[in-house]
Structure 1
Amino acid sequence: MRRYQLEALMNSAQMNTATDEKAKRHLLTPAENMSTLGSTSRPMLASGDGIYVTTPEGRRLIDGPAGMWCTQIGYSRGEMADAIAKQAMSLSYNSPWYTTNSPAALLAERIARVTPGDLNRFFFTTGGSTAVDSALRFTEYFNNVLGRPMKKRIIVRKDGYHGSTYLTAACSGREGNWQNFDIHQDRIRFISSPNIRLANGLTEERFLDQLVTEFETTIMELGADTVAAFLAEPFLASGGVIIPPKGYHSRIKALCEKFDIIYISDEVVSAFGRCGEWFASEKTFGFVPDIITFAKGVTSGYVPLGGMAVSEKLISRVSGDSSKGGFFTNGYTWSGHAVSCAAALANMDLIEKENLLEHTRELAPYFQNQLRTLADLPGVVDVRSVGLVGCVECMTQQDSVIASDADKAFANRVDDICFDLGLIVRPIANMCVISPPLIITREQINDIISILRKGIKLAAEELL
Structure 2
Amino acid sequence: MTTSTTRTELGAQTLWRQDRDHFIHPFTDYSTFHEQGCDLITDSDGIYVQDAHGNRFIDGIAGLWCVNVGHGRAEIGQAMADQATRMAYFSTFNNLSNAPAAELAAKLAELAPAHLNHVFYSCGGSAANDATIRLVHYYFNRLGKPSKKRIISRNNAYHGTTYMAATLTGIASNNWEFDTLDHLVTHLSEANCYRRPEGMSEAEYCDHLVAEFEETVERIGADNIAAFIAEPIMGAGGVLVAPEGYHARMQAVCRANDILFIADEVVTGFGRLGHFFASEKVFDTQPDIINCAKGLSSGYAPLGATLISDELFEVLGTPQGKGGVLSTGFTYSGHPVSCAAALKNIEIIEREDICKNVREVGPYLEERLKTLSHHATVGDVRGSHFMMCLENVADKATKELLPVDARVGDRVAFEAQQRGLIIRPVGHLNIVSPPLIWTRETVDRVVDILDEAFAATTESLREDGFL
Residue pair 1:396, 1:407 contacting (<8 A) in 2 also: no
Question: Which residue number corresponds to residue 35 of structure 1?
Answer: 31
Question: Which residue number corresponds to residue 243 of structure 2?
Answer: 245
Question: Which residue number corresponds to residue 445 of structure 1?
Answer: 443
Question: Which residue number corresponds to residue 83 of structure 1?
Answer: 79
Matched, 1:367 2:365: yes
Post-superposition shift, 1:11? 7.0
For residues 204 and 68 of structure 1, the distance between their equivalents in structure 2, rounded to whole angstroms, comes to: 30
Q: Percentage identity across aligned positions?
A: 39
Question: Which residue number corresponds to residue 113 of structure 1?
Answer: 110
Post-superposition shift, 1:165? 0.6
Residue pair 1:158, 1:173 contacting (<8 A) in 2 also: yes
Question: Which residue number corresponds to residue 208 of structure 2?
Answer: 210
For residues 49 and 241 of structure 1, the distance between their equivalents in structure 2, rounded to whole angstroms, comes to: 27
Post-superposition shift, 1:429? 1.2
Matched, 1:13 2:5: no
Question: Which residue number corresponds to residue 147 of structure 1?
Answer: 144
Matched, 1:191 2:188: yes
Whichever residue aligns with residue 246 of structure 1, its letter is E
Whichever residue aligns with residue 314 of structure 2, its letter is S
What secondary structure, in the 3-state scheme, does the structure 2 residue paired with 1:372 have? helix
Residue pair 1:160, 1:173 contacting (<8 A) in 2 also: yes
Question: Which residue number corresponds to residue 326 of structure 2?
Answer: 328
Give TM-score, length-normalised by structure 1: 0.95
Deviations 1:382-408 (A, max 9, x none): 001212111111012224446453486
Q: Name whichever of 197-206 and 412-421 sits farther off.
A: 197-206
Whichever residue aligns with residue 69 of structure 1, its letter is W
Post-superposition shift, 1:439? 0.9
For residues 399 and 216 of structure 2, the distance between their equivalents in structure 1, rounded to whole angstroms, comes to: 25
Post-superposition shift, 1:329? 1.5
Post-superposition shift, 1:90? 0.6
For residues 400 and 166 of structure 2, the distance between their equivalents in structure 1, rounded to whole angstroms, comes to: 22
For residues 347 and 176 of structure 1, the distance between their equivalents in structure 2, rounded to whole angstroms, comes to: 34
Paired residues for 1:56-455 under 5 Å: 56-98=52-94, 99-201=96-198, 202-320=200-318, 323=320, 326-401=324-399, 403-406=401-404, 409-455=407-453
Post-superposition shift, 1:245? 0.6
Residue pair 2:288, 2:309 contacting (<8 A) in 1 also: yes
What secondary structure, in the 3-state scheme, does the structure 2 residue paired with 1:186 have? helix
What 5-or-longer segments of structure 2 have no aligned partner? Answer: 462-466
Deviations 1:29-59 (A, max 9, x none): 0023333454331111110010000112111
Residue pair 1:299, 1:305 contacting (<8 A) in 2 also: yes
Deviations 1:55-82 (A, max 9, x none): 1211110000111011111111111111
> Structure 1's 227 and 392: CA in aligned 2 closer, same or farther, altered over 3 A?
same
Residue pair 1:197, 1:401 contacting (<8 A) in 2 also: no
Deviations 1:225-247 (A, max 9, x none): 00001010001011111000111
Deviations 1:130-183 (A, max 9, x none): 011111111110011111111100000001000011011011010011111112
For residues 406 and 130 of structure 2, the distance between their equivalents in structure 1, rounded to whole angstroms, comes to: 30
How large is the RMSD of aligned CA atoms in angstroms? 1.6
For residues 435 and 189 of structure 2, the distance between their equivalents in structure 1, rounded to whole angstroms, comes to: 31
> Structure 1's 318 and 335: CA in aligned 2 closer, same or farther, altered over 3 A?
closer
For residues 18 and 141 of structure 1, the distance between their equivalents in structure 2, rounded to whole angstroms, comes to: 49
What secondary structure, in the 3-state scheme, does the structure 2 residue paired with 1:363 have? helix
What secondary structure, in the 3-state scheme, does the structure 1 residue paired with 2:111 have? coil
Whichever residue aligns with residue 278 of structure 2, its letter is A
Residue pair 2:386, 2:434 contacting (<8 A) in 1 also: yes
Whichever residue aligns with residue 182 of structure 2, its letter is Q
What secondary structure, in the 3-state scheme, does the structure 2 residue paired with 1:374 have? helix
Deviations 1:328-347 (A, max 9, x none): 21211111000000000000
For residues 408 and 194 of structure 1, the distance between their equivalents in structure 2, rounded to whole angstroms, comes to: 26
Q: Name whichever of 26-35 and 62-71 sits farther off.
A: 26-35
For residues 267 and 147 of structure 1, the distance between their equivalents in structure 2, rounded to whole angstroms, comes to: 29
Residue pair 1:46, 1:56 contacting (<8 A) in 2 also: yes
Deviations 1:98-151 (A, max 9, x none): 321000000000111110130010011100000111111111100111111111
For residues 171 and 406 of structure 2, the distance between their equivalents in structure 1, rounded to whole angstroms, comes to: 15
For residues 157 and 231 of structure 1, the distance between their equivalents in structure 2, rounded to whole angstroms, comes to: 8
Whichever residue aligns with residue 142 of structure 1, its letter is Y
Post-superposition shift, 1:318? 4.0
Question: Which residue number corresponds to residue 464 of structure 2?
Answer: none
For residues 324 and 273 of structure 1, the distance between their equivalents in structure 2, rounded to whole angstroms, comes to: 41
> Structure 1's 300 and 310: CA in aligned 2 closer, same or farther, altered over 3 A?
same
What secondary structure, in the 3-state scheme, does the structure 1 residue paired with 2:285 have? coil
Q: Name whichever of 405-414 and 56-65 sits farther off.
A: 405-414
Residue pair 1:396, 1:406 contacting (<8 A) in 2 also: no
Post-superposition shift, 1:327? 3.0
Post-superposition shift, 1:319? 3.2
Give TM-score, length-normalised by structure 2: 0.95
For residues 367 and 38 of structure 1, the distance between their equivalents in structure 2, rounded to whole angstroms, comes to: 37
Residue pair 2:7, 2:53 contacting (<8 A) in 1 also: no
For residues 273 and 146 of structure 2, the distance between their equivalents in structure 1, rounded to whole angstroms, comes to: 38
What 5-or-longer segments of structure 1 have no aligned partner? Answer: 1-7
For residues 266 and 424 of structure 1, the distance between their equivalents in structure 2, rounded to whole angstroms, comes to: 26
> Structure 1's 254 and 402: CA in aligned 2 closer, same or farther, altered over 3 A?
farther
Residue pair 1:394, 1:431 contacting (<8 A) in 2 also: yes
Q: Name whichever of 175-184 and 212-221 sits farther off.
A: 175-184
Q: How many residues align?
A: 456
Residue pair 2:7, 2:52 contacting (<8 A) in 1 also: no
